Amino acid sequence: MCGIAGYVGSKNAVEVAYDQLKRLEYRGYDSAGIAMQTPDGIRVVKKAGTLNHLRAELDAHPLEASCAIGHSRWATHGGPTDANAHPHFDFDQTIAVLHNGIIENYLELRDELVAKGHTFRSQTDTEIAAHVIGLEYSQGGSLLEAVRRAVKRFRGAYALVIISNRESETIVAVRQASPLVVGLGEGENLLASDIPALLPYTREVIALEEGHLVELTRDRVRLVDADGRELPIVSKHIDWDVESAERGGYDHFMRKEIHEQPQVIRQCLAGRITPEDGVRLEGTFSDNVWAEIDRVNIIACGTAYHAGLMGKHLFEKLLRLPTDVYYASEFRYGDPVLSQKSLAIFVSQSGETADTLAALKLCKKNRIRTLGIVNVVGSSIARECDRTIATQAGPEISVASTKAYTAQVIVLSLLALHIAQVQETPGLRVEEWAQALRDLPELASQVLELEDEVISIAEKLVDMPLCFFLGRGADAYVGYEGALKLKEVAYIPTQESPAGEMKHGPLALVEEGVVSVFGATEPFTFDKVVSNMKEVQARAGTVLGITCDSTGTIAKAADLTLMFSPSRFDFLNALLSVIPMQLLAYHLARLRGCSIDQPRNLAKSVTVE
Ligand code: AGP
């Protein structure tokens, strides 16, 4: 999500750290900062906005240092402001800390620190972490030991990098579920969140493992595990060019982002499911507002619209809350019926989509409560909505949205459970839902293991002239998203439809060579789905079933099947079924030689109407 840089050696560490951050710009960010060791203690220079803003600040106060750490932030807790930018000091400015990831229990830790009289300059979980580490460090011992003790109190995903004004030319870092790499140089050593920031200086790289800590000086790298045991230094020679390094070794950002989804689900859930298995959504409306809401309108475009359909399915099924989903471009000209007790939810990855923003302004003019579900925290839609929930999916580079869709559906699920808790919806098993959501990243990883089977199916279907995406209930909605992916990147015509609608017209399009992809994850619909499959096959159509049905009912009826292990909730199985559809679209586009990350005619953010 964010960029991390660090250097200790004979070069000007401030300029090296800045250069490293420049090489991580492609990841997206909304503020940046550098901390450096100087004879007068640690200096921190940080600014909201692009690196140019930081550059201007650095030029206004030129500084030399032999040890510096840098960070480019993708806002999650707290907006993109100078105060929220990293690095952050501890209570007495003995240490400076920067961080990637989310400290889930930061609110509990903050309460403890406030009780001890601590005050804070920012709204970030990182500053809380800095104070916890600083307190440990004040007990004596090395910075490495203080960090090792402190992180035992953190829950969540984090890569933390720390310097102190007591240990000259020393950088300490720790990795837990958020990547960190160390670069070994001659008389210098570096670290970064991502390999591209190391390559101009060294190709000898160590990828930190879970829970491991590292201490860097210019001549030495020490690795220890969470118990403080010394570990051997084993580096890997990286022969990627810079461009493929930016894609993490993947050929395209789209495939990288499809494979990031297990981690994205974890990030999206981080801090939002309590230890007691409840849901805790910060920064939304107060409970009395949720108790009053009697209708929800979800407004979005494209993939975000498809995520909204999944929200409708859940709000109506779980909460019995009437929910409509509108294309933003239609909503704003459709003179919609709006009630003061309704809630308008705007789903948007970029937060800059012109149609969605216009619909938002129409709702605000009518004094309708507005909630954003947005990936880019500092974006226009995020700022304009009364409340905003960040999807925390990290920057999505590929025009075809994949991980953002999954994160949007996860946030809508959390919102449904949050409302259910407030409205005390009878018979809702929030604890079971919370556990099922916790289990989802592992299930998503297992679905990704189907990729080789998807590739062999894509090779069979590469010349299909038309592809249906069919399903019932949530499976129909996921099919709409699968169809959009295939259109967008492989330029294959698609026809998406509820399976039951086929005989009302679309069936006329079925003939030999036409393929129908059926999502089938809701057992009570399987009999009807099998009938629809036979309808298609009777007209020489080919059927691909994407299912978690272990009874074999679907696999027996389909010509081709992709089978995955189920979650305990059908709705989450429908969501998991989007992953094979994303992979199918990607590999068909690859086989057809399409421009995958920048498809023809399309833009990542449609800021025109
Ligand atoms: C999805 O793959 C497309 N890139 C497009 O439909 C996109 O979802 C739509 O333009 C909405 O974008 P937003 O989520 O940034 O508002």
Task: Give the residue carrying structure tokens 């299912």.
Answer: 547
Ligand 1 pocket residue status of 353, Cβ below 6 Å: yes
Q: Which atom of ligand 1 is nearest to the CA of 303?
A: 8
Mean pLDDT of 17-29: 88
Portion of the chain with pLDDT greater than 90, in percent:
80
| Fold category of 257-446 in CATH | Rossmann fold (3.40.50)
Mean pLDDT of 357-379: 93
Distance CA 205, CA 207 (A): 6
Mean pLDDT of 292-302: 96
What dihedral do alpha carbons 71, 73, 76, 79 form, nearest 10°? 120
**CB distance 387 to 284 below 8 Å:** yes
Q: Active-site residue numbers?
A: 2, 604
Mean pLDDT of 260-281: 88
Ligand 1 pocket residue status of 301, Cβ below 6 Å: yes
pLDDT in tens, 99-140: 998 888 898 999 999 999 999 999 899 999 999 999 999 999
Q: How far is the CA of 606 from the centre of ligand 1 (A)?
A: 7
Q: Which atom of ligand 1 is nearest to the CA of 402?
A: 2
Q: Which atom of ligand 1 is nearest to the CA of 484?
A: 2
**CB distance 435 to 277 below 8 Å:** yes
- pLDDT level of residue 598 (50, 70, 90 thresholds): confident
Under CATH, which number does the domain 449-591 receive?
A: 3.40.50.10490
Under CATH, which number does the domain 3-246 receive?
A: 3.60.20.10
Mean pLDDT of 301-305: 98
Ligand 1 pocket residue status of 348, Cβ below 6 Å: yes
What are the residues whose beta carbons fall under 8 Å from the beta carbon of 471, sequence distance 6 or more? 477, 478, 479, 498, 499, 518, 519, 520, 529, 574
* pLDDT for residue 377 is more than 80: no
Position 457 scores a pLDDT of 98
Other CB atoms within 10 A of residue 112 CB: 14
Give the residue from 355, 360, 300 showing the smallest Cα distance to 606.
355
Mean pLDDT of 520-541: 96
Across 414-541, the runs of DSSP E, i.e. the strands, are 467-471, 494-498, 515-520
- pLDDT level of residue 423 (50, 70, 90 thresholds): confident
- pLDDT level of residue 242 (50, 70, 90 thresholds): confident
Ligand 1 pocket residue status of 304, Cβ below 6 Å: yes
Range(s) within the chain of domains with CATH label 3.60.20.10: 3-246
Give the residue from 141, 172, 145 showing the smallest Cα distance to 159.
172
Identify any residues that bridge with 214 across adjacent strands, giving them in sequence order.
Answer: 173, 223
pLDDT in tens, 433-456: 999 999 999 999 999 999 999 999
Range(s) within the chain of domains with CATH label 3.40.50.10490: 257-446, 449-591
Show the tokens assigned to 144.
């490495």
How far does CA 46 lie from the centroid of its chain? 25
**CB distance 35 to 98 below 8 Å:** yes
Quote the pTM value.
Answer: 0.81
Q: Give the burial string for 583-601 (b: 16+ CB within 10 Å, else e).
A: bbbbbbbbeeebebbbbee
pLDDT in tens, 309-356: 999 999 999 999 999 999 999 998 888 889 999 999 999 999 989 999
Task: Give the residue carrying structure tokens 């999944």.
Answer: 310
Side chain identity at residue 391, one-letter code = T
Distance CA 314, CA 477 (A): 12
Position 1 scores a pLDDT of 57
Other CB atoms within 10 A of residue 126 CB: 29
- What's the chain's average pLDDT? 94
* pLDDT for residue 482 is more than 80: yes
